[in-house]
Structures are given as C-alpha cells and as structure tokens.
Amino acid sequence: MDFDIDYLAAQWPALLDGVLMTLQVTLLAIVCSLLIGVLGGAARVLKVPVLSQFVVGYVELIRNTPILVQLFFIFYGLPAVGMELSLFWSGVLCLSLWAGAYQIENMRGGLATVEHGMREASNALSLKTSHYFCLVAMPIAFRTSLPAVLNTSISLLKNSSYLQAIGLAELTFVAVDRIATDFRAIEMFSAICVMYLVLVGILALLTGRLSAHLQRPFRQ
C-alpha cells in the first residue's frame, strides 16, 4: 500500500470542480434555509394561526426522518406527482428544507430571548407588528442565535455530501466516481477529508469573526 501523491495532483482539477459544486449548493441552501428560518420562526413566535401549527409539524417531520430518505423522496418521489426538478435544484431544495427546520428552531430560540418589554415599548411607539419584528426583534434575536445558526450551516455543508446519492457532481461524488475507475480509495478519501476539514474550518473561522464583530458593541 503506497500513498500516491502524484495521482492526487493529477486529479486536482476534478476535485476542485467538486469543491465548487459543493460550495454553490451549500451557499444557496444556507441563504434559503435562513429565509425559511426567519419566516418560520416569526410564524411560531407571533403565533400566526394555522401557519404556526404547520411549522411545528414541518420541523418535527424533518428532524425525525433521515435526510437521505427526504432526498430520495424529493428527487425520485416528486416527479411521480408531476413536480420535476433538476438534479441541482433537488439538492438545493432538500438541503434548504432540512436546514430550514433547524434554523426555525434556532430563530425561535433567539426570538424567545427578546424581552417582552421591547414589544410593549414598540407598541407604545405605535410600531406595526411587521416593523417591530424586522427592526426590533430580529436584530436582537439574530445576534443571540448566531452560534446555533452557524452550527446548522456547518452541518449543512457536511450534509451536502449526501447529494452524491442522487448523482450530483459534488466533492464526494467526484471522489467515489474516481475510485470506481482508479481504485485509489485511500488517496481520494484522505484528500476529500482534508478538503471538508478546510471548508468547515473556513466557515467556522468566518462565522467566528462575524459573531465577534456583532458582539463588539456589547463588550465591556
């Protein structure tokens, strides 16, 4: 068993394409999941009738089923009832729905820490509910829920590897695809492990910076 570093150097362009695809899917899904999180969290906290019960059901469903089954349901199941999505968008949809459920819980946690007095104060200033939510509650809640939001985003990045199961050419798919032809499993997997570690590290670092930046006005 020898570790062939030249082989990896030769495969570098393919791996880089995989990383780019992983990043594209991940970033799109992070944005979508945050949107779901904010809207769902708002529905829960403002106790919008029907919608808030729906959100509870959605969160429970996503959290108590394997992401792989969700993915297969979206990619193979939905076309059977006339909802055909491309490979890429199936992946984005699956990851967004999965992470969205966790982001809702994160946002709800953040919004729960906003004092009731804030609501009363904005009522006294005759702010509309939408204004209160966007201008008062959200900025406060976002800061407190940021660590949890980042955690979910990192999990999302890792879970983007599930998309290889439907054949989206992201990092893991590229590696498995090459192993099938070249049998260089150790090299390939070591390489993508390092790449995932670096990606997770970068995301953690960036988010740590952001978090520190947002905390700045509150430091003594």
Partner 1 sequence: MNFLVENWAFVGKGLWMTLRLALVVLLFTTIISTVLGVLATLKNRLLWWTIHGYVELFRSIPLIVNVFFIFFGAPMFGLDLSPFAAVTTGLTLWGSANGIEIVRGGLESVSRHQWKSAWALGLRPWQIYLHVIAPQSMRAILPAYTGLLTMLVQATSLGALVGVSEFLKVGQIIIERETVMTGVSPAFAVYGVVLLVYFVICSLLSWFSRYLERRLGRPVTRATIDEGATCKSPKSAGA
By CB under 8 A, name the binding residues for partner 1. 1, 60-61, 63-70, 72-73, 76-81, 158-162, 164-165, 172, 175-176, 179, 183, 185-186, 189, 192-193, 196-197, 200-201
Q: For the CB of residue 30, give the shortest distance to partner 1 in the complex, in Å.
A: 16
- How far apart are CB 166 and partner 1 at their closest, in Å? 11
Q: Report, in Å, the least distance between residue 140 CB and partner 1.
A: 27
CB of 169 to partner 1, least distance (A): 15
CB of 159 to partner 1, least distance (A): 7
Q: Toward partner 1, which CB reaches closer, 52 or 155?
A: 155
Provide the CB-side half-sphere exposure for 178 (13 A, CA): 23
Question: Please, which residue, 133 or 196, has the CB nearer to partner 1?
Answer: 196
Distance between CA atoms of residues 28 and 70, nearest Å = 18
Separation between Cα atoms, residue 132 and residue 214, nearest integer Å: 20
Q: Which is nearer to partner 1, 38 or 187 (CB)?
A: 187
Concatenating the DSSP letter of every residue in 96-113 gives: HHHHHHHHHHHHHHHHHT
Listed residue (220, 208, 191, 157) closest to 16, CA to CA: 191
3-class DSSP assignment, residue 127: coil
Q: Which is nearer to partner 1, 122 or 160 (CB)?
A: 160
Task: Give dist(CA 167, CA 174) in Å, integer.
Answer: 10
Q: Is there a contact between 35 and 101 (Cβ–Cβ < 8 Å)?
A: no
* CB nearer to partner 1: pick between 10 and 185: 185
